[in-house]
Structure 1
Amino acid sequence: MSEEELAKDLGPLAALTIGVGTMIGAGIFVLPGDAISTAGSLAVLSFVVGGAIALLTALSASELGTAMPRSGGAYYYVNHALGPLFGSIAGWANWLGLAFASAFYMVGFGQYIGRIAGVAGTVGVGPVTVDVVSLIALAGGTFFVGVNYVGAKETGRLQNVIVLILIAILTVFTLVGGFQADVSNLPKNEGLTPMLTATGFIFVSYLGFVQITSVAEEIKDPGKNLPRAVIGSVVLVTGIYALVLFVMSATVEPGFIAGMGENEIAVVQVAERLLGPVGAVAMLFGGLLATASSANASILASSRINFAMGRDRVISPDLNRVHPRFSTPYRSIAITGGLMLSFIIGVDLVGGNAVTTLSGLASFLHLIIYGLLNVSLIVMRVTDPPDYNPDFRVPLSPITPALGAITSFALIYYIEPMVTAFGAAIVAWAVIWYAGYARERSLTTGVLRKYLREPRLTDGPGEDMPDDDKDYRILVPLANPEHETELISLASAIARQRGGTVVATHIVTVPDQTSLEYGAEHIDQLDAESESLLETAQQDATTHGVPVETHTILSHRSFGEIFDAAKTHDADLIVMGWGPDSHGAPGRAEGALDEITEDVPCDTLVFRNRGFDPAKILVPTAGGPDSELSAATTALLEAEYDSDVTLLHVAEDRAEGEAFLEEWAADRGLEDATLRVETGDIESAIIEDARDATLVVVGATERGLLDRLVRGSVLIDAIEDVECSVLMAERKRDRSLWERLFG
């Protein structure tokens, strides 16, 4: 059996953008008009107060997340610390809170589409009259539910791009508006109570940071990156909110925002005042992106909450079954989508302000969760169970989490009474659900209950992990069973010569909507061939007489996970196949974006498989660091298979070329190789000399990415035209961004 492991897909930027991307949606593009109309000049303060409450909870979430990086985030922490009764409350509040937030985002989306299309008013649908914005919201919501149902993959990088675009738009808006701001334009101060009322319904703007903890198990180095992402997202977004609200309030005359029409959007109108039509278009585009990405992120996050609740039997685990074709938790997504759409319809039929009603309900439910989350941290600190070892600790505990709990619960008082009553009914439903369903089925007890039974929870004696001697480790990512034998044979030959170990891995790509933890429990549904592929690899490597490890890695990425797996398993060399993504940056091992952002973590060999036969090896070289690896690899294969080796160098002057090649061969232990110097076209020389070869081993190109993308790659062209297999070698080394782009 291979070992299963969950990939660490998310770097610090990706983790940060999960929080920022969700928060920056409605908070700044939909709610400012209502906030200013309610609180006047104190609308700025309402966002700052909301940010301060969120920051207190962010500190607690960071400590709990580094101690318990599990799918489910806030729900899991509450359920683990306080037990399944409060877990049921937190789970239902989180799930329905996300559904209300998604409905709110889609109403905002509908407003922006309506503004762009120039449509407004109501239309008759059968016996009822429905607002046009609601119809657009329903259509948009159906679309995003469908996207998550089908399972769009690798959306993390797209989310990064969206966040950067939104920040750029708001930065320009703030800078231009800052020079035109006049404090005399600030509207009337409406007082503390209206300010706190505004804080209550705008608090939905601060939901995103807790979603980071829901994917804590997927964050690289969570001890450092999770607190930075959680706390950093709250601080960054609060600063953006405060600056934008100030600019909006101080750059237009008093009463301008309060006097806007029902179908007008405050940030768009102010942007048009400051920047003209270009500003209005930019803000419309930003609002469309923000509301859409926030809704999509919330629908996606809900499936993670459902999985955690099903895992603990707070709800039926059948809800989390994955689709046989799309590998997504389709039932959970469908129910969440149905709830979201029903909330949009219900609010429209009841009447009133859909924006503040839906945002208020989402805020109420999440304030309940945040209060319980802070209480959970206090419980974990007091009980101090043996397995509680956070990498980050909240300063001034228990004062800090106590303030977080008190302020979260206290803000509920200022939310609209009807909204509060409906939210309280949901909490009551969660208690009834626990008593009637979850109590007899729940698999957890809660740290608090265990402590009350036996308060002496102390750490046992620690055991130091043995530090194994470092051996030479070769990572072989396997994807296609047809190429498994060749890749394992190549890696085994090198491992035998180096006295090393083959580490065979198979990366199972899991849709973003499905948690990696759930994927690990249902690996057969996601990839039925994984186990047999690795078993065959183990048998093949054992036949070659080398030690072998096998690992199944579950990841939300595919090709990009290879390099992270190499770091995780401390690989000295990667031997991988030439798949469709392997040469996204022509002539290098990594893809184009990977080449820009980071260096390969270790030496890498990319095998273009036309059959593995090292009997006659051709090594084209012009010198350079990557040719060093091609020479070293060739020497190992020659020693293993007694290969006939030919070295090829293309030069303008034959005599100089021969002198270079003789010295190069002698310095690399290839003195017995046949030396061949050609003049003329490099590509033609490689193709011609490869006619007698069974394997070409060549170093990766040294040209920069931009140059290769514009002019193509001689190396790739030659590899495509030769008839034998090709092994491209890329040496691990640090390259500056300039070198990556321009060579």
Structure 2
Amino acid sequence: MSDEELAKDLGPLAALTIGVGTMIGAGIFVLPGTAVLRVGPLAAVTFVLGGVIALFTALSASELGTAMPKSGGAYFYINEALGPLFGSISGWANWLGLAFASAFYMYGLGEYVNTLVGAPAVALGPLSLEAAQIIGLIGALFFIAVNYVGAKETGGLQIVIVLMLLGILGIFTFVGLLNANLDSLTPFAPPGAVGDVLPVTAIVFVSYLGFVQITSVAEEIKDPGRNLPRAVIGSVLLVTVVYALFLVVLLAAVPNELVAGNDTAVVDAASLLFGQYSIFGFDLSLLGWGLLLFGGLLATASSANASILSSSRINFAMGREKIITPNLNEIHPRFGTPYRSIAVTGALILVFLLLGNLELLATAGSVLHLIVYGLLNLALIVMREAEPPGYDPDFTVPLYPFVPIIGAITSFALIIYIEPLVILLSGGLTLFAALWYFLYARRKVENAGVLAEWILSRSDELPETAVSAATSVRPEGDDYRVMVPLANPATEKHLITLASAIAHQYDGTVVAVNIANVPDQTSLEAARERGAHNAAHDLLEQAQSDAETFGVNVETHVVLSHRTFEEVFDAARTYGADVTVMGWGEDSHGAPGRAESAIDELAKSLPCDFLVFKDRGFDASRILVPTAGGPASDLSAGVARVLQAEFDAEVTLLHVTDDEELGQEFLTEWADEHGLSDAELLVETGDVEANIARAAEDATMLVIGATETGLLSRLVRGSLVLEVLYDVDCSVLLTERAHKRGLYDRLFGSSDRSTDTAATGVTTEPKTPDLCNPEDTPRTDDE
């Protein structure tokens, strides 16, 4: 479940070895041959440069990790800061990148084991599997099982593996130093090698994929405020020093020709160096060969183990944030691990092992991680600039903002040096992650992210395009949003009261908006500079104060516009409104009886449900709801339920018909279907408008569905709602559902309407909770 927590089982040494164990693998045992072939002794510089680039991201990751020690690491920080769209991209990239890397390490493990045992290839139907793949599949199953039983066992195994590996590398370095000759390092920069430094750095950067993975288990680290930065930064520094020292010693101790282009250069070099020594007459070349071969086995095994551990936690965090199904969050009752996440991750690793090759698996993992690293640095900038509540890191990045800016630029820039086919594959996966958000996750996630909230809170200062962009990707599973366009201080309190009552019942947010009209002759930028919106802030501050008395969240926005009424509809779209509550004046717009203006009637559809309030004092004690059925009266019923729950209102339902018996049957059934079975039922015959006016004499508020009569028909013969509006003394609340209609219906009205109050047309599927849905029962004060 989403409130499950992971036990803090990982000490500082275990956390450090997760990063070191993931990084010390192909960087030493495979890539030196490729690097030396292209840049000679400058290969050592490429590894150092890769470490420096990684260090910038390590610093950013450390600050974010101490501020938010949550499982998921980089994914969680990006999702929290940049929002769920980038969270989806980073989550899938990090998760799949680690799965690719794990498959690569297991494939490498298979290669080393196959060197010892010489296993044959196997054909499984149409698939022909190399011996390394078969061995890698067996190894993957083993490490998946180890992770399944718990992080504590994993951390203990990781410590043993890494310490043994560092010991083997230390022995090799010591023997290499005894045979080092600095002349072997000349020329240090062969002709043309300098221009290849960055491309080679991009290749060897795959060796630095492990440090951020420490943050993915931050929720399980003891004292993360202290131990997490030490583990993250320390792992990068330690591995960079090991890489540089090891490679310099390697190139100084053996001929460069032995290393260049040789994927087994380390093993061959060990055989050569140890072969110069003997004990009791026994040549030690076989010992050196076996020692480094065993080291290669440990390196690939530790890298795979740490990657599986971290990738399953990212998968777990994505489920917790509903980017993927939260069912993956379930914690094993015995082992305390997200066992479903580990199982899914393990399945992906096995599939990649079956279908991929060494080069594809390695480079795909590298590109996907560079995308994540670039976004992670941007996430730090957002958190620093937005200063959200609760952001209080124990460790802060020095030299801000230069560190995260350089980290973002260098991470994204290195991608261009990767094989184009792999970049295309990674781009396709990124597109998939974005589509996944829009087609699946957007309806489920709730957290809009710090960046979106920061932009929307400054909507009057920032360009409209930025505000629209932030809203266009806003999650649809976010809280219920009630927008209130405000202009008149005299009616502000009543509109806010109505909006707050709805928001309170559905744990939603009131979005108070003032649309400041700017003459066409004045540019919006000029109006902003001269403070044309300043007067609106007093009105919005009062609105915020009034709304907060209901205990609801409040947003306030000022919109500068050359339009007034039409801007309301754009604002509803921009701020993601589920329902808009607005005032009704004598000549508010050119379409009596509807929420839309005449121009908007022809050009647009309602973006959300609308409640239009004719204010004759706010008193919700006795509410009259006339109904003949239809979506508009469904919304009227929803409003009545809210007011009944919030103000203990008495609700009367009115149905005017020619047959009282059928009318009583209809109204009883309608009341039950709309959660108003306890309302007073009133069935009348005769003139519809006269009966509504007569029943409204005892009401304090009339809630009625807006007419669906078309534009031309209304202009010719008027509107039912308009006449009732002026015949009653109480306040009137017009309700109209979000809808999309064709041009014919816009001009002449819906062909299947039975009465003016039966709103028809094609309704859009509302968000949840739905004001019209009786199953979305408003809460009571004792809940």
Q: Which structure ranks higher in relative contact order (CA pairs < 8 Å, sequence separation ≥ 6)?
A: 1
* C-alpha contact (below 8 Å) 1:30/1:108 kept by paired residues: no
**Aligned-partner Cα distance in 1 for 2:333–2:7:** 22
Aligned to 1:682: none
Answering whether residue 305 of structure 2 is matched by residue 303 of structure 1, we say no
Q: Say which of 343, 354, 357 aligns to 2:352.
A: 343
Answering whether residue 237 of structure 2 is matched by residue 235 of structure 1, we say yes
Query: What one-letter code is carried by the residue in structure 2 that aligns with 1:370?
Result: Y
The alignment partner of 1:154 has SS state of helix
* C-alpha contact (below 8 Å) 1:42/1:190 kept by paired residues: no
Distance 1:126 1:337, change over 3 A: same
Larger deviation: 245-254 or 159-168?
A: 245-254
What's the CA shift for 1:386? Answer: 2.1
Aligned to 1:449: 452
Using the aligned pairs only, state the percent identity: 61
Aligned to 1:142: 141
What's the CA shift for 1:11? Answer: 2.8
| Superposed CA offset, 1:452-493 (max 9, x none) | 11159xxxxxxxxxxxxxxxxxxxxxxxxxxxxxxxxxxxxx
What's the CA shift for 1:190? Answer: 5.5
* C-alpha contact (below 8 Å) 2:254/2:269 kept by paired residues: yes
Query: What one-letter code is carried by the residue in structure 2 that aligns with 1:60?
Result: S
The alignment partner of 2:391 has SS state of coil
Distance 1:192 1:320, change over 3 A: farther
Aligned to 1:52: 52
Aligned to 1:89: 89
What's the CA shift for 1:46? Answer: 1.7
**Aligned-partner Cα distance in 1 for 2:86–2:452:** 12
* C-alpha contact (below 8 Å) 2:9/2:152 kept by paired residues: no
Aligned to 1:271: 270
Q: Which runs of at least 4 in structure 1 moved beyond 6 Å after TM superposition?
A: 3-6
What's the CA shift for 1:324? Answer: 6.3
Aligned to 2:330: 321
Aligned to 1:106: 106
Q: Say which of 382, 385, 388 aligns to 2:385.
A: 382
Distance 1:225 1:153, change over 3 A: closer
Q: Where in structure 2 are the equivalents of 1:165-564 lying within 5 Å? A: 165-186=164-185, 188=190, 191-258=193-260, 260=262, 265-275=264-274, 276-322=285-331, 328-348=337-357, 354=358, 356-455=359-458
* C-alpha contact (below 8 Å) 1:23/1:207 kept by paired residues: yes
The alignment partner of 2:259 has SS state of coil
Query: What one-letter code is carried by the residue in structure 2 that aligns with 1:11?
Result: G
Aligned to 1:20: 20
Query: What one-letter code is carried by the residue in structure 1 that aligns with 2:408?
Result: A
Aligned to 1:463: none
**Aligned-partner Cα distance in 1 for 2:360–2:201:** 13
Query: What one-letter code is carried by the residue in structure 2 that aligns with 1:86?
Result: F
* C-alpha contact (below 8 Å) 1:193/1:414 kept by paired residues: no
**Aligned-partner Cα distance in 1 for 2:22–2:45:** 21
**Aligned-partner Cα distance in 2 for 1:5–1:312:** 14
The alignment partner of 1:314 has SS state of coil
The alignment partner of 1:63 has SS state of helix
| Superposed CA offset, 1:605-646 (max 9, x none) | xxxxxxxxxxxxxxxxxxxxxxxxxxxxxxxxxxxxxxxxxx
What's the CA shift for 1:7? Answer: 5.0
* C-alpha contact (below 8 Å) 1:99/1:340 kept by paired residues: yes
| Superposed CA offset, 1:88-122 (max 9, x none) | 001000100010110110111012101222457x5
The alignment partner of 2:21 has SS state of helix
* C-alpha contact (below 8 Å) 1:40/1:190 kept by paired residues: no
* C-alpha contact (below 8 Å) 1:202/1:359 kept by paired residues: no
**Aligned-partner Cα distance in 1 for 2:334–2:68:** 32
Query: What one-letter code is carried by the residue in structure 2 that aligns with 1:346?
Result: L
What's the CA shift for 1:123? Answer: 5.2
How does the TM-score come out when normalised to structure 2?
0.54
**Structure 2 gap ranges (5+):** 275-284, 460-783
What's the CA shift for 1:308? Answer: 0.8
Aligned to 1:159: 158
**Aligned-partner Cα distance in 1 for 2:407–2:425:** 23
**Aligned-partner Cα distance in 1 for 2:435–2:327:** 21
Distance 1:418 1:374, change over 3 A: same
* C-alpha contact (below 8 Å) 2:158/2:305 kept by paired residues: no
* C-alpha contact (below 8 Å) 1:41/1:189 kept by paired residues: no
* C-alpha contact (below 8 Å) 1:322/1:328 kept by paired residues: yes
The alignment partner of 1:40 has SS state of helix
**Aligned-partner Cα distance in 1 for 2:334–2:222:** 29
Aligned to 1:589: none
**Aligned-partner Cα distance in 2 for 1:124–1:311:** 40
Query: What one-letter code is carried by the residue in structure 2 that aligns with 1:94?
Result: N
* C-alpha contact (below 8 Å) 1:66/1:222 kept by paired residues: yes
Q: Looking at CA atoms only, which structure, 1 or 2, has the larger radius of gyration?
A: 2
| Superposed CA offset, 1:8-32 (max 9, x none) | 4333222212211221233223332
RMSD: 2.4
| Superposed CA offset, 1:409-435 (max 9, x none) | 000011111111111111111111111
**Aligned-partner Cα distance in 2 for 1:148–1:4:** 18
**Aligned-partner Cα distance in 2 for 1:103–1:164:** 23
* C-alpha contact (below 8 Å) 1:82/1:448 kept by paired residues: yes
Query: What one-letter code is carried by the residue in structure 2 that aligns with 1:46?
Result: T
**Aligned-partner Cα distance in 1 for 2:151–2:9:** 16
Aligned to 2:130: 131
Aligned to 2:116: 116
The alignment partner of 2:255 has SS state of coil
* C-alpha contact (below 8 Å) 1:200/1:360 kept by paired residues: no
How does the TM-score come out when normalised to structure 1?
0.57
Between Structure 1 and Structure 2, how many residues are aligned?
A: 444
* C-alpha contact (below 8 Å) 1:320/1:329 kept by paired residues: yes
The alignment partner of 2:129 has SS state of strand
| Superposed CA offset, 1:339-388 (max 9, x none) | 2222222224xxxxx2x322211110111001000001111111111211
| Superposed CA offset, 1:138-160 (max 9, x none) | 22223323333455852322321
Distance 1:423 1:38, change over 3 A: farther
| Superposed CA offset, 1:536-562 (max 9, x none) | xxxxxxxxxxxxxxxxxxxxxxxxxxx
What's the CA shift for 1:128? Answer: 4.8
**Aligned-partner Cα distance in 2 for 1:422–1:306:** 21
Distance 1:138 1:193, change over 3 A: farther
